[in-house]
């Protein structure tokens, strides 16, 4: 899933051209400030750990949020220029009319989205989920994975009880036994397996794109395009760096987030998170997921996802998605 050398060469040339453009305009105008939404242990730390936060031709004003939902709210309100979120969370906000676009992103192994149960649970497989109480995020990967897993097992969505809980509350509920299963992603999966003795009974393979989008406001795309493009290029390079430095990445992120290093190492190894090109194949895949989400009642209306993305930011890159 790495970018082809030819694609990265073109992106390097483009980045150099953008740097020249910034240098030329710096004396004529105030330096651009990019307002970026992040989460602890997210893109800011990745850029800093990889060394790609240096020598920026613009300023970054970082804002830390506890989850992706408030990042999307801030983007919608015009308080941020750039943020990141899971594909379906982005789609639900875009479908409601938010002036935002997905401009790039990453893909992780779909098996790292999973439904977990306690180790002593009688649930052994997806077929055992009928009639159970299952928790997950509303309007995102959790709700989608539960619905898609039940459908794959031949059940209706109504054949299980959905409990809309965020990761922190769902983890507590699973350990306490007040829910039967929990649909979640990494590093929560690795933490639950390694520290809480949980088991995986189903995963997202073949069900979900497992894409995390970098999202920009329409205003930032129009007025801060060069800075947005450079920021995305640095994130892509940092993500590729992380694939070859998993131990170092896990150690540094552990120090920042206080999550156990072995949990992060397991999560990063399993995810193999890599940059994507927003091309026809990704749009088709995302459209199929959107249509399913609409059918499940997660997204309020049918969406033409081709209008929700701006392909121009990754158009110069080539490679497999």
CB contact set of 19 (below 8 Å; sequence gap of 6+): 57, 230
Q: What is the DSSP letter of 128?
A: G
Q: How many residues are present in the chain?
A: 321
* Same domain for 301 and 189: no
* Same domain for 77 and 170: no
Check residue 10 and give its pLDDT: 43
* Same domain for 284 and 163: no
Please indicate, yes or no, if residue 320 is contained in any of the structural domains: no
Q: Is the pLDDT of residue 8 over 70?
A: no
* Same domain for 103 and 13: yes
pLDDT tens-digit readout, 201-255: 999 999 999 999 999 999 999 999 999 999 999 999 999 999 999 999 999 999 9
* Same domain for 214 and 303: yes
* Same domain for 196 and 268: no
Three-state secondary structure along 56-123? CCCEEEEEECCCHHHHHHHHHHCCCCEEEEEHHHHHHHHHCCCCEEEEEEEECCHHHCEEEEECCCCC
pLDDT tens-digit readout, 283-312: 999 999 999 999 999 988 899 999 999 999
Q: Is the pLDDT of residue 16 over 90?
A: no
Please indicate, yes or no, if residue 246 is contained in any of the structural domains: yes
Domain that holds residue 121: 110-203
Q: Indicate the number of domains in the chain.
A: 2
* Same domain for 261 and 198: no
Instruction: Give me the sheet containing 100-107, strands edge to edge.
Output: 59-64, 33-38, 82-86, 211-217, 100-107, 274-275
CATH number of the domain residue 41 falls in: 3.40.190.10
Q: Is the pLDDT of residue 9 over 50?
A: no
Q: What is the DSSP string of 257-270?
A: H---HHHHHHHHHH
Q: What is the DSSP letter of 210?
A: -
CB of 214 closer than 8 Å to CB of 82: yes
SS3 of 199, please?
strand
Mean pLDDT of the chain: 90
* Same domain for 97 and 243: yes
């Amino acid at each position: 899933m790495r970018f082809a050398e030819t694609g990265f060469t073109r992106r390097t040339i483009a980045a150099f051209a953008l740097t020249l453009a910034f240098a030329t305009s710096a004396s004529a105008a105030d330096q651009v400030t990019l307002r970026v939404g992040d989460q602890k242990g997210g893109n800011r730390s990745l850029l800093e750990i990889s060394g790609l936060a240096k020598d920026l031709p613009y300023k970054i004003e970082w804002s830390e949020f506890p989850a992706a939902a408030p990042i999307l709210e801030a983007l919608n309100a015009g308080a941020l220029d750039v943020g990141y979120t899971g594909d379906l969370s982005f789609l639900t906000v875009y479908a409601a009319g938010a002036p935002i676009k997905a401009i790039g992103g990453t893909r992780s192994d779909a098996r790292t989205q999973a439904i977990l149960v306690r180790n002593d649970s009688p649930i052994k497989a997806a077929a055992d989920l009928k009639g159970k109480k299952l928790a997950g995020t509303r309007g995102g990967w959790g709700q989608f994975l539960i619905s898609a897993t039940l459908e794959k097992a031949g059940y209706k969505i109504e054949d299980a009880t959905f409990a809309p809980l965020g990761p922190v509350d769902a983890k507590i509920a699973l350990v306490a036994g007040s829910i039967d299963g929990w649909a979640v992603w990494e590093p929560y999966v690795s933490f639950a397996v390694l520290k809480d003795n949980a088991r995986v009974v189903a995963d997202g393979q073949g069900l979900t794109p497992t894409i995390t989008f970098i999202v920009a406001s329409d205003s930032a795309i129009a007025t801060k395009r060069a800075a947005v493009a450079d920021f995305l290029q640095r994130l892509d390079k940092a993500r590729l760096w992380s694939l070859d430095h998993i131990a170092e990445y896990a150690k540094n992120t552990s120090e920042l987030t206080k999550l156990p290093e072995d949990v992060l190492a397991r999560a990063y190894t399993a995810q193999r998170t890599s940059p994507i090109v927003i091309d026809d194949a990704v749009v088709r895949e995302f459209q199929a997921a959107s249509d399913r989400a609409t059918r499940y009642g997660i997204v309020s209306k049918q969406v033409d996802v081709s209008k929700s993305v701006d392909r121009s930011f990754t158009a110069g890159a080539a490679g497999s998605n």
